[in-house]
Amino acid sequence: MGSGFGDRLKQERLLRTLTQAELGGALYSANYISLLESGHREPTDEIIKALAEQLQLSTHTLQTWVHSASPEESEYLVASLNAWQCWDTRDFPGAAHNAQTAAEKACSNKDAAMWWNMTYLRATSLLRNSDFTESVDVLKGLLDHPLTTGSHSLSLRTRQILAAALLGLGRLNDAAEQAELAVKTGAGTSDEEYSAYLLALQTLIGVLAESGRLEKAWSHCLTLNDALTEATPAQTAGEMHWVIGNVAFLQNDVAEGLKHHSMASKLLSPTQDLARWAQFNKATAWVRLAAGVLEAETLEAIERSELAHSVVGATSTETLELSLLRARWLYLNNDLTKALALLTTINSQKAQLGSHIAGDTALLLGQVLKDLDRTDDAFEAFADAKNLFTTAGAGDRRSQASENIEKLKSSQNPAGTTQVS
């Protein structure tokens, strides 16, 4: 294997999702960084100082890498690079497995920094594979580790990803608590952690929106909008417009939603990150439908998301969410038979969905069944939706389910008759 320095340099670069060109900056070419990583060039003190600044690490830390890796160190460096290779190819189970192996070997070798990085990668990989429960368990352990409790930066990153995992489970109140703590931790943060703070802010907005707390979500959107500048990287700016547009649509401000999502579609690049492009199109189609926008562009967003997910490989949870999106389109276009077929399949697999998404499925199923005059089945679906939204902490949608139940009761009990208890 190459030098200890080269292996650690590559691992730290990948952790920060930097290309070799980005790490080299204006001083060193991508080819030269490649030579350093492969061990074909040895770093000078000047190079170490420059790279330390790029990585936001101390010069001393990089100097400790300038030695041949021990057999023990080589084992977990290999495992860590295998984990990143799996991550790059969207083999998230493989990434989680290799990251766990690397973390265990690093722990045995008393390399706390490598253990932390690999444990964080494992949790993130589990999240991306929709293994939310295991991701939460790993992150809770990480949150209590002395490295995390002693660092605002690591605490910020851990709480942000924990909030996302809790959101995936539909534990909206818990997710909001962690996201708010992450934003509080990152407020006034240094430049190198500002991007992590913005990501935490976006997560908080998403959780609040799912919880129905739109006024509070919008106040954070204004903060996010104020953070947009000409210097904001295109991909980051696109995701910020995406989040702001989502909340605008949910508030029925269609013009504002269309404006921000139009900006997002121009800034987000499918060639740079096809997976995020797929998720953006799924999100924009979902909030368009929630706002009653049934134009051709909405169907195109659904189709783009379906196509992109088929290319990058959707998890079983993502596949179910895409089917729910398609079912909502069919329902709003009055194709009740096809919508019912899809919803029946999704509902039979609702254990794979977060409580709030499972609740959305049951609520839509109830609406379809009601329109098909299958009143008893509709009652059952609405009651299921009410319970799921209660579990999730989605009070606004719980109220929607309750209102549908009351309307069905009223239709079955005209004035002057005894009400069903």
Q: How far is CA 25 from the centre of its chain?
A: 29
Write phi, then psi, for 230 (nearest 5 degrees).
Answer: -65, -20
Return the CA Rg of the chain: 24
Question: pLDDT > 70: what percent of the chain?
Answer: 96
Per-residue confidence at 419, pLDDT binned at 50, 70, 90? Answer: very low
Q: Amino acid letter at 43?
A: P
* Contact of 81 with 11, CB cutoff 8 Å: yes
CATH number belonging to domain 315-415: 1.25.40.10
Residues shown for the chain = 421
For residue 189, what pLDDT is reported?
64
What is the pLDDT, as a whole number, of residue 168?
A: 95
Structure tokens at 55: 């990585």
Concatenate the DSSP letters of all residues of 82-93 into one string.
Answer: HHHHHHHTT-HH
pLDDT of residue 1: 37
- Mean pLDDT of all residues belonging to the chain: 90
Every domain of the chain with CATH number 1.25.40.10 lies at: 315-415
DSSP 367: H
Query: What are the counts of helices (DSSP H) followed by strands (DSSP E) for the chain?
Result: 23, 0
In whole angstroms, what is the distance from residue 73 CA to residue 269 CA? 38
pLDDT at 332 over 80: yes
- Output the pLDDT for position 418: 45
Domain with CATH 1.10.260.40 in the chain: 1-69
Q: Whole-angstrom Cα distance, residue 368 to residue 354?
A: 21
The pLDDT tens digits of the residues spanning 387-400 come to 999 999 999 999 99
Nearest CA to 363 out of 418, 290, 268 is that of: 290
* pLDDT tens digits, one per residue of 74-97: 788 889 889 988 988 889 999 999
| Mean pLDDT on 402-406 | 95
232 touches 240 (CB < 8 A): yes
Contact 79, 98 (CB under 8 A): yes
CA distance 178 to 40: 44
Quote the pLDDT of residue 192.
Answer: 58
Q: What is the pLDDT of residue 54?
A: 87
Q: 15: burial class by Cβ within 10 Å (0-12, 13-18, 19+)?
A: middle
DSSP per position, 85-132: HHHHTT-HHHHHHHHHHHHHHHHHTT-HHHHHHHHHHHHHHHHHTT-H
Cα separation, 67 vs 193, in Å, equals 30
Provide the pLDDT for residue 414: 63
More confidently predicted of 287 and 193 = 287
Write down the architecture of domain 1-69 according to CATH: Orthogonal Bundle (1.10)
Segment 163-187, tens digit of pLDDT: 999 999 999 999 999 999 999 988 7
Greater pLDDT, 38 or 351: 351
